[in-house]
Structure 1
Amino acid sequence: MTRTSAIRTPLAETAARRTVQVARPRLPTAEAILPYLQRIDAARWYSNFGPLLMELEARLAHRFGDGAQVVTTVNATQALTLALKAMDLPAGSLCATPSWTFVATAHAVRQAGLIPWFVDVDAETWMLDPAAVRERLAHAPGPVSAVIPVAAFGHMPDLDAWRAFQDDTAVRVLVDAAAAFDAASDASLPIVVSLHATKVMGLGEGGFLATRDPDLARQVRRLTSFGFDGTREALCVATNAKLSEYAAAVGLAALDGWPADRLRWFMAAQALRGAVAAVPQVRFQSGWGARWTTSVCVVGLPDGTADTVETVLRAEGVDTRRWWGEGCHLGAVFADCPRDRLPNTERLARSTIGLPFAIDLTAAQVGRVAEALALALPGQT
């Protein structure tokens, strides 16, 4: 029976046309969290680096190998901000950052007392290229003290190349890997990961810094806890950015379920990739759903077609999202920040969209997304 010849009741028609949401976050169940809550009840330790938080940090650090340390924070934006502050960079100096990123990156730079300098990303990787940034340093509009490469939608940058960049230029490198929980495994450069509810492995609100630099870890820890370091004396101007034991309980339950959840994320990605293969001009990020996974699906489209495709998909009941808008450089709050020419950023803003993706994406939802894309890009199948 074809879709056009099917006889539907009003209720069935409504269900068939229900919007396919662009994201459906899912955290651990109450049942999975309960044993950790019972440990909190027994210990009566609710915050201030309790046993559950220490266990969470140890388990996260294990993912980055021997010598890595993890410092958790209330969110990844605070982790970026405090890591930059802990580096003791010259106030008012420039921090090179892509405009093609979520605004949290640029907000963190400003909160740390630095000035974002927006540099263009590579057209293929959607990320800063260390060789290109190295070339641009000679043309910077002021002293550059740091650079933040951003793992685009969970795809990790080339850390070997960024380590060489730091060694050669003395410009500090801090990696914003907010969406890259799955792919992030190297802490030879300080790296920040988000544990927000919308991420592939989340606990609600949270984030962490992973590093092999014990001095950096210790200073960030101080900055999350009023400047305290084993005493009640404030050793530096700081804030309160600690995670509670309750957040740690959710995080530990999420880590328990991560191996099975990771497999389900990959299965959902493979299903979507397979269905959308019939529309060859839709381009997935390199390795997405094959070598690494994340909680969003951002695809490349023919140049300049994002608006049209988005309009058609929404008319078909398929939600979309421009996760990074048109680039941070267009935000009013960053209008006074210096910027390079940004042709790749501008092109990506017109030729990428976020498609519906979730750990429990159904076959019917996958089919609707693929059908809507085929309708939006006629003649491409």
Structure 2
Amino acid sequence: MASYGVARSNDLLAKPCAPMPVARPELPTAEALLPYLRRLDETRWYSNFGPLLTEFEARLADRFGPQTHVVTCANATQGLTLCLQAMDLPQGSLCALPAYTFVATAHAVIAAGLVPYFLDVDPDTWMLQPQTVRDALQGAPGPISAAILVAPFGLMPDLAPWLALREETGLQVLLDAAAAFDDLQAAPVPAVVSLHATKVLGIGEGGFLATTDDILAQRVRQRTTYGFRGSRESHIPATNAKLSEYAGAVGLAALDGWPHNRLRWLRTAQAVRAALLHLPQVGFQPGWGANWVTSVCSVRLPDGAAAAVEEKLNARGVETRRWWGLGCHTNPAFAGCPHGDLTETDRLGASVIGLPFAIDLDFEQIGAVASALAESLDALGPPPPPEGS
């Protein structure tokens, strides 16, 4: 059997780990919320863009440039849907998106009246590339009106080539930045961020659009409020996707704690990286835990090894999760959607797993995961020799 140089005792390997969940979210404490809840008690303004939610949006906008507008919404899926609707795209046209993404991306496309067109991703960044979309314009089974790029698990793409694609082709471009709260610093491409409890900055349920396009921001806002535009008259078909003052309170408390919590995420991620240094067949996303933080630890294993490693880890009490499964296109909900060649997506789906990760994961837990993962990799047998050897 292959050995990856793991220093671990036989006693540690002989017994299973204490049950370890793959995620353990942490939202602001009751003490942190109390000042904002007292403000809510004083105003008795509980929804419809009261002072707490307005302040929360303003503080989010301050993270970006002075021309960036922020529109909060019930969740990021709604944010993607309403943004696509606000772009006035031809109904029934294709929306290009990566097959390697969470199902919410494709659900939003369908809810907006478009057809998902699944394309492959780059094997190193796990991202859809603008050139792939450009090439697909020629052979697509119908007109492509928009493209959604995804920041995989929080890793931000280079937006400059996407701006060039938009300028060159006229395609509308939208960024699904659900997990990229930390790394999203500007929004020249409209970006939708999730505020779900499982994200690094969570409020329970929620999301927001960040964009430099003030007209788009107004259109999305209108679609979150029954089509109202400064009156009680509904001007367009819309929905109710507002956040409440309670959500605003949680958001403000979360922002108060963000600088400290970001350091906690960094510290934990760096401890995980250090614990797995001796496992050369475990690959991290570029910059994970060093340049940017996120709330999950998705690692790439040897090709096709995910199922076998997961089985062994789970037997040891280490919970895992393939957050994006085998690729969005494999879900029955999207069985009839067109797609291109998905070789890299299929490879990633069979090789990427989520390991236990939380803001307060301690060294003992990290060590237990590292030992269990090393044992699981050893059981795979020796790695194949390098090409050309």
Q: TM-score, normalised by structure 1?
A: 0.96
Structure 2: distance between partners of 1:98 and 1:131: 13
Distance 2:11 2:370 in 1: 20
Give the equivalent residue in structure 1 for 2:3.
none
Write the distance in 2 (CA, Å) between the matches of 1:64 and 1:145: 28
Distance 1:157 1:5, change over 3 A: closer
Q: CA deviation at 1:151?
A: 0.4
Change (3 A) 1:5 1:296: closer
- Which residue number in structure 2 is paired with residue 72 of structure 1? 72
Q: State the match for 1:254 in structure 2.
A: 254
- What is residue 354 of structure 2 aligned with on the other side? 354
Equivalent-residue separation in structure 1 for 2:64 and 2:84 (angstroms): 21
Most deviating of 127-136 and 140-149: 127-136
Q: What aligned pairs does 1:147-296 form with structure 2 within 5 A after superposition?
A: 147-296=147-296
Compute the TM-score of the two structures, normalised by the length of structure 2: 0.94
CA shift, 1:77, in A, is 0.2
In the alignment, structure 1 segments of 5+ residues that lack a partner are none
Q: Give per-residue Cα distances to partners, 1:5-49, cap 9 Å, x unaligned.
A: 69x9xxxx8xx7321211000000000001000001101100001
Shift of residue 4 of structure 1? Answer: 4.7
CA-CA distance at 1:308 after TM superposition = 1.0
Q: 5 Å matches for 1:118-157? A: 118-157=118-157
Long gaps (5+) in structure 2: 1-7, 384-389
Partner residue, 2:312: 312
Q: 1:300 maps to which residue?
A: 300
Residue matched to 1:321:
321
Residues of 2 paired with 1:313 and 1:17: CA distance? 9
2:386 maps to what in 1? none
Q: Higher mean Cα deviation, 251-260 or 365-374?
A: 365-374
Amino acid at match of 2:178: A
Q: Where has structure 1 moved over 6 Å in runs of 4 or more? A: none
Query: Whole-Å Cα distance in 2 between the matches of residues 295 and 126 of structure 1?
Result: 17
d(CA) in 1 for partners of 2:187 and 2:69? 8
Question: Which residue in 2 is equivalent to 1:363?
Answer: 363
* Equivalence for 2:23: 23
Question: How far apart are residue 315 of structure 1 and its match?
Answer: 1.6
Distance in 1, Cα, partners of 2:301 & 2:328: 21
SS class of match (2:85): helix
Alpha-carbon distance between aligned partners in 2 of 1:311 and 1:42, rounded to the nearest angstrom: 53
CA distance in 2, matches of 1:205, 1:63: 20
CA displacement, residues 315-342 of structure 1 (integer Å, 9 cap, x when unaligned): 2221100101111111111111111110
Q: Would the alpha carbon gap of residues 35 and 340 (structure 1) be closer, same or farther in structure 2, given more than 3 Å must change?
A: same
Match of 2:136, SS?
A: helix
Distance 1:103 1:256 in 2: 31
SS at match of 1:233: coil
Secondary structure of the equivalent of 2:150?
A: coil
Q: Which residue of 1 is the match for residue 108 of structure 2?
A: 108
Q: How many positions carry a matched residue from both structures?
A: 372
Counterparts of 1:150 and 1:202, CA distance in 2: 19
The Cα offsets for residues 282-328 of structure 1, whole Å up to 9 and x where unpaired, read as: 00000000000000010011111111111111122211001011111
